[in-house]
């Protein structure tokens, strides 16, 4: 007999020995960046580009992702709290990262990287970098699942998760899995575009597809996801969108413009 729902009570810590604490989220984050770097190095070798470029962009992206995601959470979702507790802004280990902030951080970092290192268009860099970034996004959402966070509304679907560690007693949409699967599809599409087509020669086509796929999926999945902050409920009442959806719109719009421009040219 099949279960009508899944009871989820995973321990977010993989190892806990005295002062040593290794969480699945951090492990997935590290694995994602390592595998992502190997992918990017292979791409740079394929195009006979200096491997030093791959090494430097890796450092830029790691720093930008953490700093951008943290500041995104602080200013987009938690400013009422952090404005009163500024000393906690840098306490990343307490949780609180926003993917939109991470995206903005990466864009800023790659603008600087493109100016200082490759001397090429930032869009040229992004057409390559977003392929492994999409893979990293998959692992980050699986990390969220292990943390029993960022899940959805109550559901009667048979794959609903009861997040018992959070005290839930009814099944909820496992939106972490929805997003992870969506991002995995985007990753395979981008990988195919880079290796099997001439998309990398059409400036902005791969990056634009990434923006549409990642943030388009995020926009629609938000409809079944619980809000991250209570004040978003008032936002939904007023404009019918939460903060995650509102922040996704400009990314999707820019992606559509990039794809249209690349195809037109």
Q: By residue range, what is the domain housing residue 222?
A: 6-264
Residue 205 is assigned to a structural domain of this protein: yes
- In this model, does residue 1 exceed pLDDT 50? no
Q: Which of 260, 136, 118, 144 is nearest to 203 (CA)?
A: 260
Residue 88 is assigned to a structural domain of this protein: yes
Residue 1 is assigned to a structural domain of this protein: no
Residue 183 is assigned to a structural domain of this protein: yes
Residue range 211-230, pLDDT digits in tens: 999 999 999 999 999 988 78
Please tell me whether residue 199 adopts helix, strand or coil conformation.
Answer: helix
Check: CB of residue 121 under 8 Å from CB of residue 194: no
Please tell me whether residue 13 adopts helix, strand or coil conformation.
Answer: strand
Residue range 149-171, pLDDT digits in tens: 999 999 999 999 999 998 999 99
Instruction: List, in order, residues 6 or more apart from 10 with CB less than 8 Å away.
Output: 24, 145, 146, 148, 165
Q: In whole angstroms, what is the distance from residue 5 CA to residue 94 CA?
A: 30
The pLDDT value given to residue 93: 59
Is pLDDT larger for residue 67 or for residue 256?
256
**Residue 173 backbone phi and psi in degrees, to 5:** -60, 125
Query: pLDDT tier at 95 (50, 70, 90 boundaries)?
Result: low
Domain count, the chain: 1
The pLDDT value given to residue 236: 92
Residue 218 is assigned to a structural domain of this protein: yes
Q: In whole angstroms, what is the distance from residue 163 CA to residue 171 CA?
A: 8
Q: In whole angstroms, what is the distance from residue 259 CA to residue 240 CA?
A: 28
DSSP 54: H
Query: pLDDT tier at 3 (50, 70, 90 boundaries)?
Result: low
Q: In whole angstroms, what is the distance from residue 89 CA to residue 5 CA?
A: 37
Residue range 106-125, pLDDT digits in tens: 888 888 998 889 889 999 99
Average pLDDT of the segment spanning 199-203: 95
Crossing angle for the helix pair 243-264 and 99-113, nearest 10 degrees? 40
Determine which of 52-56, 190-194, 251-255 has the lowest per-residue pLDDT on average. 52-56
């Amino acid at each position: 007999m099949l279960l009508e729902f899944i009871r989820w009570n995973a321990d977010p810590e993989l190892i806990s020995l005295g002062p040593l604490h290794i969480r699945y989220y951090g492990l997935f984050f590290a694995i994602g960046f390592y595998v992502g770097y190997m992918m990017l190095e292979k791409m740079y070798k394929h195009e006979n580009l200096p491997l030093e470029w791959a090494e430097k962009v890796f450092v830029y992206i790691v720093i930008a992702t953490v700093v951008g995601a943290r500041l995104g959470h602080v200013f987009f979702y938690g400013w009422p709290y952090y404005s009163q507790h500024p000393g906690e802004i840098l306490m990343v280990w307490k949780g609180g990262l926003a993917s939109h902030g991470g995206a903005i951080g990466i864009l800023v970092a790659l603008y600087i990287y493109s100016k200082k290192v490759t001397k090429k268009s930032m869009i040229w860099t992004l057409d390559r970098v977003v392929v492994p970034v999409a893979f990293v996004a998959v692992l980050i959402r699986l990390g969220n699942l292990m943390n029993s966070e960022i899940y959805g509304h109550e559901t009667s679907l048979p794959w609903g998760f009861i997040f018992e560690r959070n005290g839930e007693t009814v099944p909820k949409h496992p939106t972490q899995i929805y997003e992870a699967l969506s991002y995995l599809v985007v990753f395979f599409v981008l990988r195919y575009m880079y290796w099997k087509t001439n998309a990398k020669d059409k400036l902005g086509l791969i990056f634009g597809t990434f923006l549409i796929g990642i943030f388009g999926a995020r926009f629609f999945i938000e409809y079944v996801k619980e809000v991250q902050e209570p004040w978003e409920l008032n936002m939904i009442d007023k404009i019918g969108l939460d903060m995650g959806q509102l922040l996704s719109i400009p990314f999707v719009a820019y992606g559509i413009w990039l794809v249209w421009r690349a195809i037109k040219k």
